[in-house]
Amino acid sequence: MMRKAYDLIGIAQRAGKATSGTMAVQRSLKGSRACLLIISEDVSENTREVLVRASHKHQVPHIILGDSHVLGHSIGKPFRVALTIDDSGLADAIVKAVKSADM
């Protein structure tokens, strides 16, 4: 169930452990705070390439998850195309939830 992953993203936001918005995400990746990069499926190709390149450069895993409206809704915003999770425990739990939902 993907619902658990979105619930965990919401928990990260409320705990102050999520960074959203393309520019803020890039700063989070460069500042070594990010533990996981989450990109929406409907992000532009250019933005996706920039973010994926930055995640590889800073050795931060990334996942593609849902559309921008669902991703934004999970953190209480209208829409978001990218966000980082800045807590390793929450990042691991989100990845685990996504993998179990794909099975």
The whole domain housing 25 covers 2-102
- CATH code of 37's domain: 3.30.1330.30
Query: Into how many domains does the chain fold?
Result: 1
pLDDT band at 102 (very low <50, low <70, confident <90, very high): confident
Arithmetic mean of pLDDT, 2-16:
95
Intra-chain end-to-end CA distance of the chain, in Å: 9
Q: What is the pLDDT of residues 53-84, one digit of tens each?
A: 999 999 999 999 999 999 999 999 999 999 99
Phi-psi region of 63 (alpha: psi -120 to 50; beta: other; left: phi over 0): beta
The answer to whether the beta carbons of residues 10 and 74 sit under 8 Å apart is: yes
Instruction: Please say if the pLDDT value at position 1 is more than 90.
Output: no
Residue 65 is predicted with a pLDDT of 94
Q: In the structure encoding, which two tokens stand for residue 22, read together?
A: 């393309």
Q: In the structure encoding, which two tokens stand for residue 69, read together?
A: 């409206």
0.85 exceeded by pTM: yes
Instruction: Please say if the pLDDT value at position 103 is more than 80.
Output: no
